[in-house]
Structure 1
């Protein structure tokens, strides 16, 4: 028989454990006050989470803890702690927190979010494909696409946003799947960016209820859970798109028309690598995601910064002219002699980083750093935005000023503690650092040099205050990655001679494009001939 005493004991024990949910346990890093059961959930904004994280880091220090019900979240805004916790303990911190929304779409096959054995297999394959040496083999198609981008700007400068997206989607489609897209409208590029935009918005921190920490939300009927409909639609669109690209690559190989794309090596060695067809399709698709949207948003930010800072643009153009001159277009190796242009690139990365919080990590074992306890399976955020806007590191961090990188290696104050700071910290940390950084750096350099050499980028309406100048966070689309909202920019060639050199270079690039145009539609073939 259950007695009244038994009931009272159960209630007392239950109350004791419920009271602990949402509270900050002993040894955790400091953080904002919590509420019972919910912890800090009520303090999370629905967008631009990195701003709140940065505010907390200023108040509580370089490592902060939060409670999301029973889950612990750690925010790291100190480069030294990033090094000590996330870089030096890469094996433990290589996990990802559970992300049910992403997994419901990708079956856990997206290398950005995958775990355990699947991630290790994918990482090994991707590292071999995206090594520095392997990326150098694909510089010709990157150069050719950068030249078409310049040519597109000559012909149709108003649509520079779409031209940018087309270029980088086409680069990644060519290097990974062996097929390119010569135009944006009704193409693989426009279809991809539609899928990617919806996927990015779905996964943005705070965009949807925290299903991972409140599992009961999984059982809410779909009519009251709009994210379920979004996930189902995205799953269908992603899988159809990635498999269509892989099937075309396999068919090309069967017909003996190989063109040296990344996926050919993977398909030939798939079984020995322990990879399924589904895994290969997602490896290709995720590489396309990582190399298209992120670089496109960088170039959008670059154009925006040049438009709003004409003195910076002019100084960069002067340096390019001094090294290159008007008789030829720039080459990648020219960047070595352009310290100010290098500084511009670094400042664009710092000013508004593409992924302000990267993708969160999770630790496989209990860890400790700076005397604080980090319990196993914590969600660990690397606050890249907060690092790059720390007033203890940078003078006037909210001001766009490339000159800071001429004064010091990392653009920091003379007396700043730069322990742990890396020039590539915007690419992430530890074993989860972006594997495509070499491909991205090549693309950035080519396009920045071409844009500065070829064009003047000015406000579309000089007599009316442009809402994007000065640049604020309100000008950016929030998401897992951020980029500027579409804006107007007057892009004009700097001289008729430079325009003629661009046209000639585009004509010469046809021989490189042709090997990646085997699957063009009839409409695209007509477009290529006309263009």
Structure 2
């Protein structure tokens, strides 16, 4: 694997030397204004040694403290702009979205692994607009999602059953449920008790996506000419990895769609995102491509926020029992003991709603966002942002910025409720799903899944710390590094709240 931190110094010097040669060949032009401030680089190679590889959002936050809300580095001629301010991110990525909505060609993830066709990495253009049009029609609003509410509720009820039976397998249950929901919506595929092949496939693809899109994880993204080197070249093992991962991507896109077509031909297909795009149409090659990859984008990418947010919710409830009790008291008062919460209760549960918001703020699922690419030279706040620059919004810091959130290290849902004549703090959903024309198309689905999982789990479970040998074990809050961040595994205890709660869990859960 050609990961910069694991490469030998001989390999690095060899590759940097080739990169320097290429940089020296590149034409130069007079800057229209100064670059934003940032750490000083070396001659020719720039900041190649400054690029952070583990939890880069922490380094980016340090740059923000030292250089201001917008900072700049250059890596072998590639300009990178880091943004640590919600206002600047919105000014750039929302208000100037026509210029700031491009994507860089990721040579490992996009070209070698084959992920360039999924929505999140798609270059800006007509095909992207078609994907987003399909997404908006099916899951673009809470109202559009209403048709899928029964799926969310039934699958979450099944989740409660699995957690009750095997509480020590919480992570697996969360992944199973997220996969079951998204597969039913994307391809009409109903997952049985054990993970079906498509759930495992999505898990594998998502893990590979996170690993190969992490900034600077693979040297080929810094030195693109390496894509053409032979496999015997020093540290070219990334080419073998790319071949293996490419097979996963191809199967992820093709296999579920084939299942939909087979079921439609047999007259037994469930209503789904894919079937609605296929029904009654003869597709051109381009239309077939858009259907296959937009459905794959929903299926492959639609679980990560839910999995991370739900696991983060259980971690937060383990650490903050007082918050758990307040939410449970609200659910008990509004819903009562004789049924599970449903989406119909959402407007009547403001504290539970605030709790979901705080989970999304507290654990940034995508801490640094997939970088935007600038499609033409631009001047922003007096700084020169050259064409081709990568813009990295530091979402983690924005969700922990004391200028936006009081005491950001504190887990406090009440920050999102009016109090003492003050309005609620900024809704984290305006930040955590990205910005502009590249905002996450599945944000409403992710939000709905996180809410119903939170409400149902609180209604029937008590979540607490584990006691071992008379000692209470306090989990560590330590999110994993990568494009998609999850809390690291932790110890917990989950039990039914009462005999009535046990009865609710054990009721049938069917469509």
Give TM-score, length-normalised by structure 2: 0.88
Structure-to-structure mapping, 1:222-301, within 5 angstroms? 222-223=231-232, 224-268=235-279, 275-301=286-312
Partner of 2:12: none
1:18 Cα deviation (Å)? 7.2
CA distance in 2, matches of 1:16, 1:281: 39
Deviations along 1:417-439, one digit per CA (max 9) or x if unpaired, are xxxx8642111110111111111
Partner of 2:457: 451
The answer to whether the 8 Å contact 2:69/2:84 transfers is: yes
Partner of 1:124: 133
Structure-to-structure mapping, 1:360-509, within 5 angstroms? 360-406=371-417, 407=419, 409=423, 411=425, 423-461=429-467, 463-464=470-471, 466=473, 468-469=475-476, 471=477, 473=478, 476-504=479-507, 507=508, 509=509
The answer to whether the 8 Å contact 2:368/2:392 transfers is: yes
CA distance in 2, matches of 1:29, 1:501: 58
CA distance in 1, matches of 2:23, 2:146: 60
The answer to whether the 8 Å contact 2:366/2:485 transfers is: yes
Matching residue within 134, 157, 177 for 1:167: 177
The answer to whether the 8 Å contact 2:360/2:429 transfers is: no
Change (3 A) 1:441 1:269: farther
SS of the aligned residue for 1:112 comes to helix
The answer to whether the 8 Å contact 1:258/1:264 transfers is: yes
1:165 Cα deviation (Å)? 0.5
The answer to whether the 8 Å contact 1:270/1:276 transfers is: no
1:102 Cα deviation (Å)? 1.8
The answer to whether the 8 Å contact 1:18/1:37 transfers is: no
Deviations along 1:94-131, one digit per CA (max 9) or x if unpaired, are 21111111222226211110113332332222222222
Change (3 A) 1:310 1:69: same
CA distance in 1, matches of 2:250, 2:362: 35
CA distance in 2, matches of 1:27, 1:165: 47
Structure-to-structure mapping, 1:59-208, within 5 angstroms? 59-103=66-110, 104-106=112-114, 108-115=116-123, 116-132=125-141, 133-185=143-195, 187-208=197-218
Change (3 A) 1:20 1:306: farther
Deviations along 1:136-155, one digit per CA (max 9) or x if unpaired, are 21111111101100111122
CA distance in 2, matches of 1:138, 1:244: 23
CA distance in 2, matches of 1:238, 1:278: 14
Deviations along 1:10-67, one digit per CA (max 9) or x if unpaired, are xxxx99967998x998421111111112211201222211111111011111111111
Partner of 1:516: none
Change (3 A) 1:409 1:33: farther
The answer to whether the 8 Å contact 1:143/1:446 transfers is: yes
Q: Which runs of 5+ in 1 are unaligned?
A: 1-13, 413-420, 513-531
The answer to whether the 8 Å contact 1:72/1:379 transfers is: yes
SS of the aligned residue for 2:121 comes to coil
CA distance in 1, matches of 2:240, 2:342: 48
1:340 Cα deviation (Å)? 2.0
The answer to whether the 8 Å contact 2:357/2:416 transfers is: yes
Partner of 2:4: none
CA distance in 2, matches of 1:143, 1:200: 28
Change (3 A) 1:64 1:110: same
CA distance in 2, matches of 1:35, 1:143: 56
Deviations along 1:488-507, one digit per CA (max 9) or x if unpaired, are 32110101111112222xx1
Partner of 1:320: 331
Change (3 A) 1:231 1:279: farther
The answer to whether the 8 Å contact 2:115/2:121 transfers is: no
Structure-to-structure mapping, 1:333-352, within 5 angstroms? 333-352=344-363
The answer to whether the 8 Å contact 1:460/1:489 transfers is: yes
CA distance in 1, matches of 2:316, 2:438: 29
CA distance in 2, matches of 1:156, 1:220: 49
CA distance in 2, matches of 1:352, 1:17: 42
1:485 Cα deviation (Å)? 2.0
CA distance in 1, matches of 2:492, 2:440: 31
RMSD, aligned α-carbons: 2.6
1:185 Cα deviation (Å)? 4.8
Is 1:52 aligned to residue 66 of structure 2? Answer: no
1:307 Cα deviation (Å)? 0.4
The answer to whether the 8 Å contact 1:329/1:450 transfers is: yes
Q: Which runs of 5+ in 2 are unaligned?
A: 1-20
CA distance in 1, matches of 2:100, 2:24: 28
CA distance in 2, matches of 1:410, 1:270: 48
Give TM-score, length-normalised by structure 1: 0.85
